[in-house]
């Protein structure tokens, strides 16, 4: 369907004729400061620059300019977009202890972060209709991807995450605080944070307990996931950072955060366990929601604007040719 976004601008169409009738004509004085013996032929040549047959070009030029200002548009066919209205942020620990390979007991080549990137990427791809964001945290927390419907971009940014990019320690409180800040405008009950870590809060300026209180007050629901093999199957010192205090998982803190905010705590001891957790999250926070009808809009103003520019060039070329003649 064709329409003008600002059709009221067509009211200015008679403006040139109104100004011509209302404003006094320019006076032709004879007391010039300079005497030009060739002034009369020059004045006659000027009168010939715009013959009467070109007035229709000026009229067309004005119509095209007003038409472009009215912003012509073409509305496409209606499209249905599934939208749950949920805003979901993934907060992923990228501290030094995430280099441990205990989630991959068979191959022993993929780190905890590698496993999370693959399985969390699959989880992101399934969240059709949600706005997804990504936070990476280590010694501090950083927003890697703001809330967006572009799941492919968020997944690509997660794939680019590397261990130590945000520092070697773990600032759980900072990650919570940043998520609260980014989700403060989400509708009530539609803000969700999934926080994944393998350590304890060892850095940052925000207390995780205080941040959990703020999250609960703002209506943010937090699901926490503790990552790392069970004590009986812990990786050997060859695959785990020896003597690293960040490798000790603070399950009590993660349980408290989830409990205060109405979420749940999960423990992922291997790849399959983490996959089951993501499946359970899909059931706890289903993506099924309402549908929004949108119509793609194609702007058409460049066409009349280009036509007006072409006419301007034509009139300038004609005037220049007459001057040379």
| Per-residue pLDDT tens digits for 69-94 | 999 999 988 876 666 668 999 999 99
Diameter of the chain measured on Cα atoms: 110
The answer to whether the predicted template modeling score (pTM) of the entire model surpasses 0.85 is no
State the average pLDDT for the chain.
Answer: 83
Q: What percent of the chain has pLDDT over 90?
A: 53
Please give the Cα distance from 210 to 10 (Å, whole number). Answer: 59
Please give the Cα distance from 6 to 72 (Å, whole number). Answer: 8
Torsion of CA 78, 128, 263, 110, to 10 degrees: -160
**Listing from the earlier edge strand, what are the strands of the sheet with 297-299?**
2-4, 72-75, 297-299
Question: At residue 204, does pLDDT exceed 80?
Answer: yes
Between 34-43, 92-101, 195-204, the lowest mean confidence (pLDDT) is in 34-43
In 3D space, the residue among 69, 120, 122, 118 whose CA is nearest the CA of residue 301 turns out to be 69
Between 123-127, 136-140, 314-318, the lowest mean confidence (pLDDT) is in 314-318
> In this predicted structure, what is the pLDDT of residue 196?
95
Between 146-150, 181-185, 240-244, 287-291, the lowest mean confidence (pLDDT) is in 240-244
Please give the Cα distance from 226 to 277 (Å, whole number). Answer: 11
Contact 147, 132 (CB under 8 A): yes
Please give the Cα distance from 101 to 97 (Å, whole number). Answer: 10
Pairing mode, strands 141-148 and 72-75: unpaired
Please give the Cα distance from 122 to 135 (Å, whole number). Answer: 17
Contact 93, 138 (CB under 8 A): yes
Q: From residue 278, give the alpha-carbon distance in Å to each of 63, 122, 224.
A: 59, 9, 11
Contact 256, 209 (CB under 8 A): yes
DSSP 8-state secondary structure symbol assigned to residue 63: H
> In this predicted structure, what is the pLDDT of residue 223?
96
> In this predicted structure, what is the pLDDT of residue 237?
39
Specify the DSSP element, H or E, that contains 322: helix 302-324
Higher pLDDT, 255 or 317: 255
- Tens digits of residue pLDDT in 258-277: 999 999 999 998 888 899 99
**Listing from the earlier edge strand, what are the strands of the sheet with 141-148?**
141-148, 131-137, 87-93, 191-197, 221-227, 265-268
Contact 174, 150 (CB under 8 A): no
32: tokens are 């010039």
Question: Which residue reads 């030009």 in tokens?
Answer: 36
- Res. 242 pLDDT band, cuts 50 70 90: very low
Which class is 85-286 in CATH? alpha beta
Contact 201, 173 (CB under 8 A): yes
- Tens digits of residue pLDDT in 279-307: 999 888 887 555 667 788 899 999 999 99
Please give the Cα distance from 15 to 38 (Å, whole number). Answer: 36
Contact 245, 100 (CB under 8 A): no
């Amino acid at each position: 369907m064709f329409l003008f976004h600002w059709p009221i601008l067509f009211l200015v169409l008679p403006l040139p004729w109104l100004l011509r009738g209302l404003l006094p004509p320019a006076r032709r004085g004879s007391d010039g400061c300079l005497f030009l013996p060739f002034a009369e032929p020059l004045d006659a040549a000027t009168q010939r620059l715009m013959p009467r047959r070109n007035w229709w070009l000026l009229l067309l030029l004005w119509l095209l300019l007003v038409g472009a200002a009215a912003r012509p548009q073409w509305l496409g066919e209606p499209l249905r977009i599934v939208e749950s209205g949920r805003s979901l942020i993934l907060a992923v620990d990228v501290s030094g202890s995430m280099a441990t390979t205990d989630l991959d007991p068979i191959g022993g080549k993929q780190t905890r972060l590698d496993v999370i990137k693959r399985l969390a990427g699959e989880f992101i791809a399934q969240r059709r209709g949600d706005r997804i964001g990504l936070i990476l945290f280590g010694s501090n927390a950083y927003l890697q991807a703001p809330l967006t419907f572009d799941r492919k971009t968020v997944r690509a940014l997660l794939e680019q995450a590397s261990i130590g990019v945000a520092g070697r320690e773990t600032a759980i409180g900072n990650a919570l605080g940043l998520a609260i800040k980014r989700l403060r405008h989400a509708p009530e009950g539609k803000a969700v944070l999934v926080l994944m870590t393998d350590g304890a809060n060892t850095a940052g300026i925000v207390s995780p307990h205080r941040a959990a209180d703020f999250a609960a007050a703002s209506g943010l629901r937090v699901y926490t996931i503790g990552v790392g093999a069970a004590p009986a199957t812990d990786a050997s010192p060859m695959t785990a950072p020896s003597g690293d205090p960040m490798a000790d998982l603070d399950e009590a803190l993660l349980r408290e955060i989830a409990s205060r905010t109405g979420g749940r705590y999960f423990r992922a001891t291997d790849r399959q366990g983490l996959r089951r957790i993501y499946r359970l999250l899909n059931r706890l926070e289903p993506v099924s929601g309402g549908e929004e009808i949108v119509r793609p809009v194609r702007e058409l103003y460049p066409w009349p604007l280009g036509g007006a520019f072409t006419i301007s060039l034509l009139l300038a070329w004609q005037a220049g040719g007459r001057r040379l003649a």
